[in-house]
Amino acid sequence: MTRTDAPVAGKVALLSGGGSGHEPMHCGYIGQGMLSGACPGEIFTSPTPDKMFECAMQIDGGEGVLLIIKNYTGDILNFETATELLHESGIKVTTVVVDDDVAVKDSLYTAGRRGVANTVLIEKLVGAAAERGDSLEACAELGRRLNNLGHSIGIALGACTVPAAGQPSFTLKDDEMEFGVGIHGEPGIDRRRFSSLDQTVDEMFDTLLENGAYSRTLRQWDTVKGAWQEVQQSKTALQNGDRVIALVNNLGATPLSELYGVYNRLAQRCEAPGIIIERNLIGSYCTSLDMAGFSITLLKVDDETLTLWDAPVHTPALNWGN
């Protein structure tokens, strides 16, 4: 899927994608100030490289294509293949990998940390930079920096049901929750007793706050050399006095009223360490079919980031500004 006005001459094109089942991510974020195109695969299955290649060719306006990739093995392999195909076809291209989930390192779908809801925030912010005319290199650098500033964690009170399987991906007792669940129903840190909403948010907030600096090696495409580079990157821990965008995200079947309860408790917990919530999003942005649960994302920001956040965006799922 692409913007109706694609390709937009003179501006970097943003392409993302992945398995279906996470709507509105990614197709709901196509439009002015965000994605130029998106490639959905089958449920929880990466789209194929030829689809990514074809979409990128349709949206390239001459300034290059930035691929925003969630850190899952299938997505990485297929987007990397598409990157090489685009380079061979003369398209200027580079990549940003998102790995914001603090819950686990290595799981069923990925090596390293998983890419979850911070992907949405990155797509918005980098999309605004592309819309104002930033270069491919500048957009990529911004995306990588934002990835290193974002932290997410999710919980589930009930599993999602993949249509092809016809049954929940896991089962929980009435008083249990999967703490640190992935957006495909992957296991988290552990299973815990669910006592109250406030207590659950407290445990999630403490986990986010206790998550220290984290260094890892990520692959990114070097546009000049036309080759993959192994780059050491470091995530910065949340600290007292940080300014953040807070995303309280429905994983599928959680009522909006409960999400506001989550945000209320999150805002209370941010007060003690002096974490300032500059902007917030509350709703369904990165889902997991019909999973009963939610996630919290905190993205560290500065004045420049907030300017990009406030810039106009016109997509089916995010829409503000003139």
**Omega before 184 cis (within 30°)?**
no
**Omega before 316 cis (within 30°)?**
no
Tell me if residue 87 is catalytic: no
Q: Measured between alpha carbons, how far is 111 from 105 in angstroms, rounded to an integer?
A: 7
Tokens of 17: 């994608």
Catalytic member of 26, 151, 184, 314 = 184
- E-only strand ranges, the chain: 13-20, 37-43, 65-70, 93-98, 150-158, 176-179, 190-193, 214-222, 227-235, 243-250, 276-283, 292-300, 313-314, 319-320
Tokens of 98: 């998102």
Q: Backbone phi, then psi, for 111, in 5-degree steps?
A: -105, 125
- Residue count of the chain, please give it: 322
Q: Measured between alpha carbons, how far is 41 from 184 in angstroms, rounded to an integer?
A: 14
Tell me if residue 151 is catalytic: no
* Cβ proximity of 36 and 10 under 8 Å: no
Q: Backbone phi, then psi, for 58, in 5-degree steps?
A: -75, -30
* Cβ proximity of 213 and 237 under 8 Å: yes
Tokens of 20: 């279906």
Beta strands 243-250 and 227-235, pairing class: unpaired
User: Hey, which residues are catalytic here?
Assistant: 22, 184
